């Protein structure tokens, strides 16, 4: 698998000391840690909002070597707290304007619009003002707009934080669909370890360092370490680990029904 992004001995005052990690092309990476560990700042650094020389390589080139326009073409960033107000009074107008920027013929524009409202489940909300829509709808709209530019990598800062469990699941499923269909690489910070279970790779940051990294399920099983730094384990993981420690189950189980079946056997 081709390496897309590399972080090399990243230092940032009061937050990071010689952090290094690599991201393979087409992977879905989540980054987590306790509050105030620097997750949002890290996304700003990775996406180029905070430039740091000779620390971030994308496709083998340092960030500062890219022309600004090219960097913007191959990356997309969503930091909810930074997102400006939408330009138009309806989601339909907003989307059609953005599509107009990327598609040439009227046939392409209409077909793209139909595809987007279906894929992002926005059909019922076409006439709604995007600025008064729920955060869930706004996140989907922002994702649709970013993906119109066909970025190679998406930087997302805790976009599921304010969503309920059902909404979180829909967003993660959408991201997985985008990843599968377009091969886009996704790097997303999250304060919710449930979200990270659906990613390919999890990085835990603590005390200015990368504390743990690897397969999300393997990392999350390290309950003593995660609890110590203030991260709450997903309920099923926490239950499974405790039952495994008491030899009630042999392995960590994420599905409640299978867990019940295993216990009653």
In a domain, 231, yes or no: no
pTM of this structure: 0.89
In a domain, 199, yes or no: yes
Structurally, how many domains does the chain consist of? 1
In a domain, 132, yes or no: no
pLDDT for 202 beyond 90: yes
Q: Above pLDDT 70, what percent of the chain?
A: 88
Determine the structural domain holding residue 178 and report its residue range: 3-82+152-216
pLDDT tens digit sequence for 96-133: 999 999 988 999 999 999 999 999 999 999 999 999 99
pLDDT tens digit sequence for 73-105: 899 999 999 988 999 999 999 999 999 999 889
Measured CA distances, 150 to 73, 113, 142, 146, 200 (Å): 8, 15, 13, 8, 21
In a domain, 105, yes or no: no
CATH of the domain at 160: 3.40.50.300
């Amino acid at each position: 698998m081709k390496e897309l992004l590399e972080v090399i001995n990243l230092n940032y005052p009061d937050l990071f000391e010689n952090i290094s990690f690599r991201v393979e092309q087409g992977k879905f990476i989540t980054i987590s840690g306790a509050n105030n560990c620097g997750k949002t700042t890290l996304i700003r650094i990775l996406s180029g909002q905070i430039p740091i020389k000779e620390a971030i390589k994308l496709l083998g080139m340092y960030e500062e070597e890219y022309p600004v326009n090219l960097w913007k073409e191959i990356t997309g960033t969503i930091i909810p707290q930074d997102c400006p107000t939408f330009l138009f009074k309806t989601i339909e107008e907003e989307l059609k304007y953005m599509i107009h920027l990327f598609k040439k013929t009227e046939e392409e524009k209409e077909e793209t619009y139909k595809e987007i409202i279906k894929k992002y489940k926005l059909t019922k909300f076409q006439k709604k003002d995007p600025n008064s829509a729920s955060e869930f709808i706004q996140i989907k709209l922002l994702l649709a707009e970013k993906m119109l530019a066909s970025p190679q990598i998406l930087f997302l800062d805790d976009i599921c934080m304010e969503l309920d469990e059902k909404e979180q699941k829909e967003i993660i499923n959408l991201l997985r669909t985008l990843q599968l269909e377009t091969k886009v690489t996704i790097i997303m910070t999250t304060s919710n370890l449930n979200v990270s279970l659906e990613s390919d790779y999890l990085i835990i940051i603590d005390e200015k360092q990368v504390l743990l990294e690897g397969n999300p399920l393997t990392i999350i099983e390290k309950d003593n370490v995660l609890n110590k730094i203030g991260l709450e384990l997903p309920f099923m993981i926490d239950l499974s680990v405790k039952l495994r420690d008491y030899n009630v189950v042999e392995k960590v189980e994420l599905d409640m029904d299978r867990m019940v079946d295993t216990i009653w056997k």
